[in-house]
Structure 1
C-alpha cells in the first residue's frame, strides 16, 4: 500500500532520539557538569527519562495507522467521511494509487498530516496519523450501524 507511513517503532525512535539529545544538552548547560565530574551522569539519565516519555507519547499520537471499516453501503460512508473531513478543515489534495488524499491547509497541515482513504466494494480504508484516524473511526462507526438498518 502506498500510504504507509512511519509505524510505532520508527516514530518512537524519532521522538526518543531527538528529545534525549535536546534534554542532555539542556541539562548539561543548566548544571554546568563540565566543572564537576560527579554530575557527569545526570544529563544522560535525565535525557533517557525524557526521551522515553517523549518517545512513548509521540509514538502513541503520531504513528501512522490504517483501518478498514466494512459497510454494505460504502458510498454513503464515503459521504459521511468527506463531510467530517470538510468540517475538520481538510481539503482535497489529490489521489495516489487509488487513495484519495486530504490535508489541512497551511501550518495546521504540517501538524495533522495527510489522511488517505480508499473506497472499495464493501469497505473504506482510512490511513493517517493515529489520532485523526481514531477520531474518524469513532465518528463513522455509528454511521455504519445506521446504514445497516
Structure 2
C-alpha cells in the first residue's frame, strides 16, 4: 500500500517554508539580516504554520476491519463520490482516486486496497479520517 510523507516530514516542510518566507518578508520591510528579531519573528510563524499544515496535510494509512466487503465497498465508493473523487487507476489491487479540475491541485489522491477482511485507505489525513468515520459509524 502506498503511504506518503507522515507528520514529521510534513511539519519540517511547512516550518522551513513559512520561516523562510517570514524572514524574506520581514527583511523587505527593512529588518536587517543580522537582527535577531528577524528570526525571533520567523520561528513562531513557522511553528504555527507547521503544526496546522502537518495536522491537515500529512498522509496517513488506516485499516478498517470489515465483515462483508460488499456493503463497506459500496459505502466507501459513495463517500469518495460525495467528496468529488473518481477512480483514475487500478494497479496490483490498489485503486487510486483523484478529484478533477482545480480541486485536484488542492487535494492529494486517495489510495484504496480492499482485502477479504479489511479495507486500507491511504491519503491526506483529513480526508482519510472523514472517510474512516463514515465507514465505522454505519
TM-score normalized with structure 2 length? 0.94
Structure 2: runs of 5 or more not aligned: none
CA distance in 1, matches of 2:21, 2:72: 44
Alpha-carbon offset, residue 96 of structure 1: 3.4
* 2:99 matches 1:104: yes
Q: Could you say which residue in structure 2 is the equivalent of 1:124?
A: 119
Query: Higher helix fraction: Structure 1 or Structure 2?
Result: 1
* 2:32 matches 1:34: yes
Larger Rg: 1
Q: Could you say which residue in structure 1 is the equivalent of 2:68?
A: 73
CA distance in 2, matches of 1:7, 1:97: 23
Q: Secondary structure at the match of 2:121?
A: strand
Alpha-carbon offset, residue 110 of structure 1: 1.7
Structure 1, 81-90 or 14-23: larger mean CA deviation: 81-90
CA distance in 1, matches of 2:13, 2:103: 21
Structure 1: runs of 5 or more not aligned: 144-149
CA distance in 2, matches of 1:73, 1:55: 40
TM-score normalized with structure 1 length? 0.87
Aligned residues: 138
Runs of 4+ in 1 over 6 A off after TM superposition: none
Alpha-carbon offset, residue 84 of structure 1: 1.2
CA distance in 2, matches of 1:97, 1:46: 48
CA distance in 2, matches of 1:97, 1:47: 45
Q: Could you say which residue in structure 1 is the equivalent of 2:136?
A: 141
